[in-house]
Structure 1
């Protein structure tokens, strides 16, 4: 088995199409790609992919193999970076911290304050990505610590709970429900739902649980690739989406945020890191996680809704 077999398989699994994987990512021909995948299946001895009318789908064995294939490539990349690092001259210490897009407005200032107190000479790099992308960066050793969701199918990561956020409805400014103080879930069932499943799978699971608990079926018409893309689709299609409260820090002018009526679903924010990361600064930063939460909750960074009536999110 060669590394290209793993790369080809991962590309096809993620694209869901031999044609798209061959043309967009691998720059090879579809017949050649098909032969490589057949060789891989013959070597393993099980079928990994099923050809469908529209593209391909993973078999049960394929889903299991995909996680291990990704991990294998990550480990190879880490090994290569470590080897290259031995040839580099001594550099200034570096520390990379990642945030969900929009969360840096809440957590960045106090995070930097703590990091500077612990190591003044370190070079700090900020990354803002989706939660799945942050998890991959942690597994690959490219990010030291990240504020993200508790992603599943992660290898070697640990998570520490930081806070819970309520979900809110994002609606077009002139939507019939935008004039309500709180939005009943039964009214949402009659509207077009903009999903963000690809960008936020953990959020999708929370929304699915909420829909089942309230006895509604969401009419999913679109799946946005980013949370900001979800808001744009809300504005252009007249539908709605459900996002964590922090998203109201980045609302576009043509949409509004409204609280949900009744029992409100929440989503957890975690501090994630790779358990194999031996950075002394990471260890000291983790020891001050409770202090970070305390400082942020007492400051002005939380969305205003959290502070009404003197209430803050549970942490």
Structure 2
């Protein structure tokens, strides 16, 4: 498997069309792109797309693979840019990390703030899951990240941006979807799905998202154990569709919502989870200080960030 196969796959997934991806994103021919996608499917051993007259849709396997493909491409780009910066340090260098799905919300305004003040800055973007971002921060691989308040080891600082509400994610044709709101106790007895508790953070503890879900259920006195666990939100969506299960997730996970899945708010005071800006305490970067000084402005000017 080569990086170009991953790039082709992500382009088709985002365009939802082989024709559009070939002509507008990749500047290649549709037959050539189709062959590359078939080669990738043969290598991973699963169909990644459903082909139809109106374009293509990701299969359950494709939705899971999309998260991992984006992470691998982001990590490869970060590695290349880091080496180039060391070899040719002509521009100020600053690396940003975003959780997958949050980059589309927070990246544009963040870049605008940086480039308004530092027009010559060279910015590298990394999109990963929150525990991976915490690890990258701890290792000094990125300067700042938009992530959960992970227990990422000593030396990390977090500045709260927003508190994201949880919602119930469930199949559109599930009986509970007929209700405008769902009581927490109504989840008992359903096939409950959750993010993995074994996708460990740097400290060896479960991810902050899993801890927040478990804490909410415990506070409500609900003894609910996940029937299935997966380490990415795309995988959770696939499980909802395939098992007719239910999941509690932050509202931003609607970014990954397939046509067969919908959401409903919880009745009463909804639980929340922090989205924070994380950075290393010892990072003395002037660019980092600039960004931190304008976090309030960033939050105020980013619409629909819940």
Normalising by structure 2, report the TM-score.
0.67
Q: Which residue of 2 aligns with 1:93?
A: 92
Which of the numbers 241, 246, 251 marks the counterpart of 2:252? Answer: 246
- Establish whether residue 140 from structure 1 lines up as the match of residue 143 from structure 2: no
CA distance in 2, matches of 1:191, 1:183: 13
Are the equivalent residues in 2 in contact too, given 1:189–1:216 (CA < 8 A)? yes
The CA deviation at 1:153 is 4.1
Q: Which residue of 1 aligns with 2:216?
A: 210
The CA deviation at 1:280 is 1.2
Are the equivalent residues in 2 in contact too, given 1:99–1:146 (CA < 8 A)? yes
**Runs of 4 or more consecutive aligned structure 1 residues displaced over 6 Å after TM superposition:** 84-87
Are the equivalent residues in 2 in contact too, given 1:195–1:222 (CA < 8 A)? yes
Q: Which residue of 2 aligns with 1:129?
A: 128
Query: Cα gap change, 1:232/1:87 in structure 2, threshold over 3 Å: closer, same or farther?
Result: closer
Larger Rg: 1
Count of residue correspondences? 218
- Establish whether residue 234 from structure 1 lines up as the match of residue 240 from structure 2: yes
The CA deviation at 1:136 is 0.6
Query: Cα gap change, 1:294/1:102 in structure 2, threshold over 3 Å: closer, same or farther?
Result: same
CA distance in 2, matches of 1:219, 1:140: 34
Normalising by structure 1, report the TM-score.
0.65
CA distance in 2, matches of 1:248, 1:229: 13
Equivalent positions of 1:1-315 (< 5 A) are: 88-198=87-197, 201-296=207-302, 299=303, 301-302=304-305
CA distance in 2, matches of 1:222, 1:232: 11
Query: Cα gap change, 1:111/1:153 in structure 2, threshold over 3 Å: closer, same or farther?
Result: closer
Are the equivalent residues in 2 in contact too, given 1:197–1:203 (CA < 8 A)? no
The CA deviation at 1:103 is 1.1
Query: Cα gap change, 1:196/1:86 in structure 2, threshold over 3 Å: closer, same or farther?
Result: closer
CA distance in 2, matches of 1:270, 1:164: 9
SS of 2:267's equivalent in the other structure is: coil
Are the equivalent residues in 2 in contact too, given 1:192–1:218 (CA < 8 A)? no
Q: Which runs of 5+ in 2 are unaligned?
A: 1-81, 200-205
Are the equivalent residues in 1 in contact too, given 2:193–2:247 (CA < 8 A)? yes
Query: Cα gap change, 1:119/1:302 in structure 2, threshold over 3 Å: closer, same or farther?
Result: same
Deviations 1:184-235 (A, max 9, x none): 1111011111110345721122111211222212231111110111111111
SS of 2:227's equivalent in the other structure is: strand
The CA deviation at 1:93 is 2.1
The CA deviation at 1:163 is 0.6
CA distance in 2, matches of 1:243, 1:87: 40
Deviations 1:11-30 (A, max 9, x none): xxxxxxxxxxxxxxxxxxxx
Are the equivalent residues in 2 in contact too, given 1:164–1:269 (CA < 8 A)? yes
Query: Cα gap change, 1:219/1:121 in structure 2, threshold over 3 Å: closer, same or farther?
Result: same
Query: Cα gap change, 1:109/1:172 in structure 2, threshold over 3 Å: closer, same or farther?
Result: same
Deviations 1:157-195 (A, max 9, x none): 110011101100110121111111111111101111111
SS of 2:269's equivalent in the other structure is: coil
Are the equivalent residues in 2 in contact too, given 1:195–1:220 (CA < 8 A)? yes
